[in-house]
Amino acid sequence: MTKKYAGGKLLTALTYIFLYAPIVVLIVFSFNGSKSRTVWSGFTLDWYKELFGDKLIMGSLQTTLLVSVAASAVAAVIGTFAAIGFYSMKKRWRGPLLTINNIPVINADIITGVSLSLLFVSAGAVLNFELGFGTLLLAHISFDIPYVILSVMPKLYQLDRNLFEAAQDLGCTWFQTVYKVVIPEILPGIINGLLIAFTMSVDDFVVSYFTAGSSVQTLSMTIYAMTRRRISPKINAISTLLFAVVLILLVVVNMREARQHKAEMKKANALKGELE
């Protein structure tokens, strides 16, 4: 048993080395003195300096952040209301609607992208608009909403139905019930959904590629265009920065959680001591 356990640990270690090796390479070469991505020629911070002067990269970073924030926020609102609506529906309607809701999640990205581009191109021909930031935003919202719904629905099912009764017995209108009782109870699910949606939007390349047209570029699209030619180490630099930001955020969040957990444990132990 112990031998097998050690084997599992070794395999896990190898898996993580496999996952992180390319990232380490990426980060190390963001400090490389020359443009080469395989030969090390001394330490420099030049790429970081150049990065902030690069209008294309900075512009596409801005587009990415703007689209991701806007799309995940809109998706959180629409998705939360939709989840409450689905939850109150009869099963006969809820079932098929949730299946349709799952389509963008399960479907291959390329199909989602291509089908939306067909829609936007044909609607654009009639209504006289072109692919651009608007279509990009619509596409992002529509693949973000399902993630919000999927993380809000379980929270709704965990709700005590008596809670609504209590609220209404105490004189809440249906709207007050929703925003004073339901929303606070399902807030963790909404925030979780918002974060997943934001991540999906930031990381998305394929759907953006087919729906943004030629006038707007997200960071992923800029990177893709660069890989077709030759990537400048500036891209290594920006991904190192993004990685550092995420790492710091995760460490802070986890440390706070751990501290809260510890405090709660202490409190519980103290209470137990008092009772005894």
Rounded distance, CA 134 to CA 67, Å? 9
Q: Which of residues 109-168 bind other proteins (CB under 8 A)?
A: 109-111, 114-119, 121-122, 138-139, 142, 145-147, 150-151, 154, 161, 164-168
DSSP 153-188: HHHHHHS-HHHHHHHHHTT--HHHIIIIIIHHHHHH
Measured from the CB atom, the residue of 66 and 231 that comes closer to other proteins is: 231
Q: Which of residues 95-114 bind other proteins (CB under 8 A)?
A: 97, 100-111, 114
Out of 52, 81, 129, 179, the residue judged to bind other proteins by CB under 8 A:
81
What's the chain's Rg over C-alpha atoms?
24
Determine contact, residues 224/208, Cβ cutoff 8 Å: no
Rounded distance, CA 77 to CA 72, Å? 9
Mark 19-58 with x for binding to other proteins (rule: CB under 8 A) and - for no binding: xxxxx-xx--x-------xx--------------------
Measured from the CB atom, the residue of 153 and 274 that comes closer to other proteins is: 153
Mark 183-212 with x for binding to other proteins (rule: CB under 8 A) and - for no binding: -------------x--x---x-xx--xx--
Both structure tokens of 40 = 């090390």
Rounded distance, CA 203 to CA 260, Å? 31
Q: In whole angstroms, how close is the CB of 250 to other proteins at the nearest point?
A: 6
Q: In whole angstroms, how close is the CB of 56 to other proteins at the nearest point?
A: 15
CA angle 118, 124, 126 (to 5 degrees): 110
Determine contact, residues 68/198, Cβ cutoff 8 Å: yes
Mark 215-254 with x for binding to other proteins (rule: CB under 8 A) and - for no binding: ----xx--xx--x---x---xx--x--xx--xx--x---x
Both structure tokens of 267 = 């409190």
